[in-house]
Amino acid sequence: MAISSSVANAINSLTAALTMRNVFWASWPRRVPLSETELVVRALQESCQPASLSLAEWDLLIRQGRRANLLGRLAIGLSRANTLLAVPAQPRMHLISAAKMAERQNLAIRWEVSCIAEALASAGVDLILLKGAAYVMAGLPTAEGRTFSDVDILVPKEQIEEAESALMIHGWQGAHHDAYDQRYYRQWMHEIPPMLHVRRGTTIDVHHTILPETARVKVNTAALFEDPLPVAGFSNVHVLQPIDMVLHSATHLFHEGELDNGLRDLFDLDSLFRHFGDDASFWAGLLSRAEVLGLQRPLYYAIVFARQMLDTPVPPTVIAALPGIAPGPAVRWLMHFCYARALRPNHASCHVRGAWLAKKALYIRAHWLRMPFFLLVRHLTHKALLRPPKDERAPAPERQGL
């Protein structure tokens, strides 16, 4: 009897523990409450009605949108809803300007890609476009109203030297000449130093994988090259498959240490989920593909925070599978605390208590994920104490846009 009673008590305790676990998962993650001053987020989510906002609110909305690099997206949304002309004249001019700037950059991206393709074709190198350039060349709605600072491409590591040489012949030059920076990029990182075109002032980042080779997360890079999609009109230009495109976007955002464009990148993910999610096969293959590439954790954070902050629709079957790729409770709470504060417009009106600490923690986390501890200490010590001469640093003004 005593043994049976002990077994019964153990079963009851286990049942209670499982019940509490289910209750926890049902109640977390909850939607992140948005500050009433985060007008740009609410405007993009709720198809803003211009007549409902005062001039003071429009002024704040424009400022937030510009700081978050979401003003062009807002302008496109209002134009599609046929409400742009109802916006008061002063803010409407800012919106129109942002839309025209995005349109101009879309055209510039197409020209830049054609130049890059021509340069690499001469060396027999195929390339895969990443992020913003990929959205444009693939004709995705994610590109609408979006602005860019550079073009990111992915080439096989064994062809990285041929690609760099071909680009140099066609007018691009390295932006970092310091010996340590050269070693940092070429030995440890996932890309060579950024290359700047001598005449156009445009910047290209040439990657051979999507995370540093020293990173704790090991990406199955070979799988990314298995079956990319060709871009119409080019023989050597491709984009990633839809699922891989989403996984790369998630990886980029949730391994980034500087989140000035974090909210824009989250809106990119929301757009990609909504666009590709119309195809049931996208959701069916998402988790298994993340496992193949080794990117389950970035996918988890992408789904969680897109749902929390932007109400991104995700099928119940995918949500039910999230516990299998989630971190422990303490890490979940910490990441929720940090990203709920960091993924906001970088404007004073949107700052919340703990935001500075959250951003610092995520900056440290990004470096911790990027390098082993002793290499990280060595790198940060070097950057803090031994800055390169001014004329050897990357030229800042040219990297502002295409």
For residues 137 and 239, is the Cβ–Cβ distance under 8 A? yes
Distances (CA, A) of 397 to 24, 71, 104, 393, 402: 48, 21, 18, 12, 11
Please state at what angle helix 71-80 crosses helix 89-121, rounded to 10 degrees. Answer: 110
Three-state DSSP at 197 gives strand
Domains of the chain plus CATH, in order, are 32-396 (3.30.460.40)
pLDDT at 15 over 90: no
pLDDT at 2 over 50: no
pLDDT of res. 50: 77
Least confident span in 180-184, 284-288, 326-330: 180-184
User: Mean pLDDT throughout 378-397?
Assistant: 57
The tokens for 288 are: 């298994």
pLDDT at 343 over 70: yes
Q: What is the pLDDT of residues 271-282, one digit of tens each?
A: 999 999 999 899
Q: What is the pLDDT of residues 108-121, one digit of tens each?
A: 999 999 999 999 99
Residue count of the chain, please give it: 402
**pTM for the full predicted model:** 0.84
Rounded distance between C-alpha atoms, residue 321 and residue 377, angstroms: 37
